Amino acid sequence: MKPCSRLALLLVFLLFLAGMHLVSGARFSPIHVVTQALFDYDPKNYQHVVIVRQRLTRLVVAGYAGMVLSVSGLLLQKVLRNGLVSPSTLGINSGAITFVTLGIYLFGLNGAELFWPALFGGITATMVAFLAAGLVNRGNRDPLSLVLGGAMTATLFSAATTFVISLDPERFDDQMSWLIGDIGNFDYQPLIWLWPVGAAGLALALLLSRSLDLLSLGAEQAASLGTDPRLVQWASLAIAIPMAISAVCIVGPIGFVGLVAPHMTRMMIGETGRIPTLFCALLGAAIVIGADILARTLLAPKLLNVGTVMALCGGVAFLALILSTLRRRQA
Amino acid sequence: MRRALLIRSGRHVHIPIALRPAAILLVLLSLLIILAFAALDLGSTPLPAGELLRWLAPFIDATRETDAVLLLRWPRVAVAILGGAMIAASGHLLQIVSRNGLADPGLLGISQGTMAAVVLGAAVLGIPPQWLAPAGLVGGLATAILVLSLAYRLASTTGLILVGLAVSIVLGALIEIVMVQGGMAQFARWLAWSHGSLTAVSAENARMVAIWALPLIVLTLLVARSATPLLLGREQAAAIGAAPQKLALLLTLLSAALVAPIVAVVGPISFLGLIAAHVARKLVGERPQEALPVSMACGALLLLVADTAGRTLFLPLVVPAGILVSVAGVATFLIAARFTSSRR
């Protein structure tokens, strides 16, 4: 099957999942009610309100977060040539959260304003992770040491976050679902301000994908083929971090999409060219939407958190990836 | 030639005591006693030293205020000392078993396994408080065996840690499901506990920890010597007549048992075992029968200092001990990782 047709197939699957998402929930809504709510919205009908105000907004937020996080993960994995990095395993998410809690505690920021401290935190965390990895590693580039550095960074920042929260728990009352990575009913509000970040990031990632493919041949090869390796590296970091941060600001730390989606993409259609980037974006959206469906229906009428569901599934995937990396290196 | 003092009693009892480790241990223990006094004395309500001595003396009654203040302080100090020693011993044993200088109950997911069993046991199955520590022990042991056997074939220092990390992420998600059931104040308390905090320790807790601690610490000191062959590696150990598999299983069980009561009361204090074992090895070398007691003393000192500093230095802020230990621990970990990987 050609990559294009696989992409189309994924799109169909995504639409199907989106339909499932709108239909399912604490209370099942028949399909004709959903279509009616979408095309002939009646604000007095309670079911219509639930479908449009709660499920549709959740759907959009979940799709956006999945798309942005997985493209960010793909860029990071390609540019660092390391299959174990992603926004969560590098500690970017934890760094962003620490600075967001600080922003809330010290300056009382809220909504889309939190993007700036989060961005600063993400950049700081990336630098700390590289520094830590440099300490662990001596010369030979081991893909595991960067992950170890990232994990240590995440530990450090999560300790800091806990400390900031313990200063005044009441002030963070509204943020609890955000702190553990859940999609709430009002999460679409910051999305209105932040979606351009994701859109621009995706467009730039598509533009960069050819140079990134050349870079995967090695820096010297890429330079001799007419790309500037340093520029490409910095540019992709400059795209990947704000993209991940824009998702973290909206939904909190949803980990592992950024790790798993690029791997699945690679297994399904390879990684050269522009189509894999698009494929990865759609796949990430599908994964988070699927996790959201599971979170809302597994223990219904109780709600689980998307972040928790993703950590459960993603942690297992992470374990499998580490074990296979180690096996391969041993062989 | 190591300088040693030989204690002879009759014809059969010869106890050689290496001088350097004994001296270091003595220094550490006296430091610990001084610090324990300081920790009892320091706090938001200062006590005159005379009052403290009067409280400690067996037959003299202290004033009622002193009694009340110290009733809040002594459990914390006791749990910090016992807990620090136990976590350090557990970390040291794990480092011997896995032959990996980066092992630590918090980093291998054992604390998280214990925590998951405690949390799920308390919230879902409704286990009464006094049975939580045994339930935690089962969880911790299961996790330890899972992580060590997954990473057994992979001779990689960082691999073991990453496997432990992945397992703790999954366990953390399980814990989180329970954590978010209450409100934000509850969540903040859980969060502080999940890093390790001695704020909520009561006299009851201190007694529970002491009941676990005394036999386990004695047992650890007794088996320390027999753990020496494991340092050679499995084949070598088998070649000189030890049973490495059995020994490793026993020591893993022991190290899980050592952290279970602490995790149930204080929460997992990651990195403490790692730091203490490294300091101890720097001070007295590799031999377990000398390094283990020193590392226990170091662990007790560290946790006591972290807790006392956390509750007195930044007043009116109170920093949980686990957070201070993690910050110091990350730095130690990175340096240790560098030297461990260069040795291989």
Whether A185 is in a domain gets the answer no
Q: CA B277 to CA B271: how far, in whole Å?
A: 10
Q: CA A140 to CA A158: how far, in whole Å?
A: 29
Say which CATH number the domain at A322 has.
1.10.3470.10
Q: What does pTM read for this prediction?
A: 0.80
Whether A20 is in a domain gets the answer no
* CB < 8 Å from B in window 111-140 of A: 132, 135-138
| Lookup: tokens for B201 | 């320790």
CB contact under 8 A, A148 and B319: no
Q: Considering only CB atoms, which chain A residues are within 8 Å of B322? A: 159
Whether A247 is in a domain gets the answer yes
Whether A285 is in a domain gets the answer yes
- Digitized pLDDT (tens) for each residue of chain B, 344 residues in all: 456 666 676 666 666 667 788 888 888 899 898 888 888 887 777 777 777 777 777 666 667 777 777 777 888 889 999 999 999 999 999 888 887 777 888 888 888 888 888 888 877 777 777 777 788 888 888 888 888 888 776 656 667 778 888 888 888 888 887 777 766 677 777 777 777 777 777 888 888 888 888 899 889 888 887 888 777 777 777 777 777 778 888 888 888 888 888 888 888 888 888 888 888 888 888 888 888 889 999 999 989 988 888 888 877 777 877 788 888 888 878 877 777 654 43
The CA dihedral of A265, A270, A274, A275, to the nearest 10 degrees, is -60
pLDDT, position B58? 66
Per-residue burial over A160-183, b = 16 or more CB atoms within 10 Å of its CB, e = otherwise: bbbbbbbeebeebeebbbbbbbbb
Whether A119 is in a domain gets the answer yes
DSSP assignments along B191-221, one per residue: HHHHH---TT--HHHHHHHHHHHHHHHHHHH
Whether A7 is in a domain gets the answer no
CB contact under 8 A, B176 and A322: no
pLDDT, position A95? 92
- Total domains present in chain A: 1
Per-residue burial over B147-179, b = 16 or more CB atoms within 10 Å of its CB, e = otherwise: bbebbeebebbbbbbbbbbbbbbbbbbbbbbeb
Residues of chain A below pLDDT 70: 1, 26, 137-142, 185-186, 300-302, 330-331
pLDDT, position A141? 62
pLDDT digits (tens, 9 = 90+) for A123-174: 999 999 988 888 776 555 667 778 888 888 988 898 888 888 877 777 777 7
**Domain annotation for chain B: domains and CATH numbers:** 79-343 (1.10.3470.10)
Among partner residues A160, A163, A316, which is closest to B170 by beta-carbon distance?
A316
A316 inside 8 A of chain B by CB: yes
Q: At what angle do helices B64-98 and B272-284 cross, to 10 degrees?
A: 70
Structural domain of residue A220, as residue ranges? 61-177+194-330
Whether A322 is in a domain gets the answer yes
Whether A51 is in a domain gets the answer no
B334 to chain A, closest Cα gap in Å: 6
Q: CA B78 to CA B327: how far, in whole Å?
A: 23
Q: Considering only CB atoms, which chain A residues are within 8 Å of B174? A: 312
CB A148 within 8 A of CB B160: no
ipTM value, please give it: 0.77
A59 to chain B, closest Cα gap in Å: 22
Question: How many other CB atoms are found less than 10 A from the CB of residue A9?
Answer: 12
